[in-house]
Structure 1
Amino acid sequence: MSGFRIQSWNAVAPGLNCPEDWRNWLQAPYLLDTQLAKIPLKQIPPLLRRRFTELGRCAAGAALPLLEDIDSIPSVFASRHGDTPLTLSLLEGIAAQQPMSPTGFSLAVHNAVSGLLSIARKDVSEVTAIAASEQLIAHALMEAMTQLQEHERVLCLIYDVPLPELYQPYVTTEPFPFALAMILSRGTGECFQLAQQQSAVHAEVSELMAMMKCLCGLEEQVCFSGTRGSHWQLCKADPEQV
């Protein structure tokens, strides 16, 4: 069992730009757009801003409001699929025997978003970029908690965009782009515990929706069940237990 505190959090999705938006939507959900409205990212220089794809804009849009008064912070960037639309366009170009775009290739690697955000903020703190076929949120939190052993606080950023139609028959993902940014802390914030479970728990909503309900105070716990025998539960905790 591991405990930590969430000092602050922010999440973005089409039409949902702050915790209040999320809370209202979770209580009365409606169909969200499949594309994100363009996020200004005014904190980032224009020449660098142009390199942010929808995935990068979504991630940066969630993280930057939390980092306004923070010069440097170690970070965990977690995306299940990465920039799949960009990767697919590069593969289609190869199939058509077109020359590979160096810029496109550099932006398609899994740590591209973390690199761009680090450059934009001039933050040389360590960054970890991870992927997981399932339980992405749980794995991101575990990595961030590991880094809390050496740092006072850690940014944990989880983000994805819808898969291109070609891949949709093979995997279930959120039908809209999203990003969830959390600053985990050893000293301040709401207390949580992440504990391993013996058996899987059937969930009626996706892990992201369950996590957002917990952060918005609508649920007390989140279950992350996997198909490989690993199951986790995140729940709010007493400060004395963290």
Structure 2
Amino acid sequence: MGNASSIAFRVTGWAAWAPGLETAEDWQAWARQPFAPTGEAMPALEKVPAMQRRRIDRLGRAAIQTLDDCRLPQDAGQPLVFVSRHGDVGRSYALLEALGAQQSMSPTQFGLSVHNAIAALYSIVRGERGNYTALAGGCASVETALVEAVGLLADGAASVSLVVCDSQAPQAYTSFLDEPDAFFGFAWRLVADDAGAAAEAPGERLSLHWDDASTLPDQAADADTLPNALAAHHFLLSGASRRREQAEGVQWCWKRHA
């Protein structure tokens, strides 16, 4: 079987946003007939002051909106884990175009293009002074972030907010994509998988097992229609008992427990 490991956790709340998918009811319908969301719409972020809102682009708005909708008052000061496979790739590409045209790059746009910029903006907007982490793990970005989150729970965090977001890549990158392109953001509220957490907020009890064995797993049914990160959210909403897929040379098995 090779080197196998696993983690377990509970998802006690979630929120998601994508063009045309703005409510929990929209997402429950999407779970029955999933597709890769695209479009130019973005959250209004009405609870963010206008001066701060101007600095937040579509991807950041999707992340911040879902995090605001998912977090509870008691989560203040608890760790945040932000994950995006490509980050703000549109902003980064615009900077590269300016560089290629021998134009000066905007320091503000450069600062907002770095991978932890959305997390930093959220901490400023909401006055969060706790621990936040910004990750990218290729096609296995969600799985990588969950390992980080469960580690924080094991270190004593009462909850961890996981924020996942990605946007459509500029056309110049289309030939390099290895999974469906989509625009989305979602957040999960995670707690430890123990009796105390279960009594306080049962939620969905999930486990994630990974193995470096050479035998390829059965492909997930949604593997051809959704990027891997969004397929993980589909698994949460769908009620399916298992999901198997391969990403970054590792076999991953998701399981739902009673």
TM-score (normalizing by structure 1): 0.90
CA-atom RMSD in angstroms: 1.8
State the secondary structure of the residue aligned to 1:216: helix
Higher alpha-carbon deviation: 202-211 or 68-77: 202-211
Question: Quick one: distance in 1 between partners of 2:8 and 2:55?
Answer: 37
Contact 2:80 2:133 (8 Å CA) reproduced: yes
Q: Which moved more, 1:204-213 or 1:173-182?
A: 204-213
Q: Provide the residue aligned with 2:32 in structure 1.
A: 27
Counterpart contact for 2:82–2:133, Cα < 8 Å? yes
Report if the CA contact (8 A) 2:37-2:184 is conserved. no
SS in 1 for 2:137: coil
Q: Deviations over 1:105-160 (max 9, x none)?
A: 01000000000011111001111111112211111111111111120100111110
Percent of aligned pairs sharing the same letter: 31
Q: Report the residue type matching 1:158 in the other structure.
A: V
Q: Is the 8 A contact 1:19 1:216 kept in 2?
A: no
Decide which of 28, 52, 55 is 2:56's aligned counterpart: 52
Are residue 235 (structure 1) and residue 252 (structure 2) matched?
A: no
Choose which of 119, 140, 160 in structure 2 pairs with 1:114.
119
C-alpha distance after superposition, 1:159-217 (max 9, x if no partner): 10011000110113443310120010121322111112444322332324532332213
Residue segments in structure 1 that go unaligned for 5+ positions in a row: none
Equivalent position amino acid for 2:188 in 1? M
148, 158, 166: which one aligns with 2:172: 166
SS of corresponding position for 1:200: coil
Please report how far the alpha carbon of residue 95 of structure 1 lies from its aligned counterpart in structure 2 after TM superposition.
1.3
Aligned to 1:185: 191
Does the alignment pair 1:43 with 2:43? no
Partner of 1:215: 236
Q: Does the CA contact (< 8 Å) of 2:59 and 2:167 recur in 1?
A: yes
CA distance in 1, matches of 2:17, 2:95: 27
In structure 1, distance between residues paired with 2:121 and 2:109: 13
Q: SS state of the match for residue 90, structure 1?
A: helix
Uncovered stretches (5+) of structure 2, i.e. residues with no partner: 1-5
| Distance change (3 Å), C-alpha of 1:148 and 1:133 | same
The answer to whether the aligner puts 1:7 opposite 2:12 as a matched pair is: yes
Q: Give yes or no for contact 1:3–1:191 (8 Å, CA) kept in 2.
A: yes
Moved more, 156-165 or 16-25: 16-25
SS of the residue corresponding to residue 179 of structure 1 reads strand
Cα displacement string for residues 18-73 of structure 1 (whole angstroms, at most 9, x for unaligned residues): 332112123235674332x2311122221111111111011112111112524322
Q: Which runs of 4+ in 1 moved over 6 A?
A: none
Q: TM-score, with normalisation over the residues of structure 2?
A: 0.85
How far apart, CA to CA, are the structure 2 residues paired with 1:231 and 1:138? Answer: 11
Give the Cα–Cα distance (whole angstroms) in 1 for the partners of residues 239 and 9 of structure 2: 20
CA distance in 2, matches of 1:9, 1:100: 37
Question: Which residue of structure 1 lines up, in the alignment, with residue 90 of structure 2?
Answer: 85
Q: CA deviation at 1:13?
A: 1.1
Say whether the 8 Å CA contact 1:135–1:224 is kept in structure 2: no
- Residue 131 of structure 1 is matched in structure 2 by 136
Q: State the SS of the aligned residue for 2:186.
A: strand
CA distance in 2, matches of 1:67, 1:176: 24
Q: Distance in 2 between matches of 1:68 and 1:42?
A: 18
Figure out how many residues of one structure are paired with residues of the other and give that number. Answer: 236
| Cα distance change of structure 1 residues 19 and 220 upon mapping to structure 2, 3 Å threshold | farther
Partner SS state of residue 98, structure 2: helix
Of 197, 203, 223, which aligns to 2:220?
A: 203
Aligned to 2:3: none
Aligned with 2:46: secondary structure?
coil
Q: Tell me the distance in 2 between the aligned counterparts of 1:95 and 1:204.
A: 41
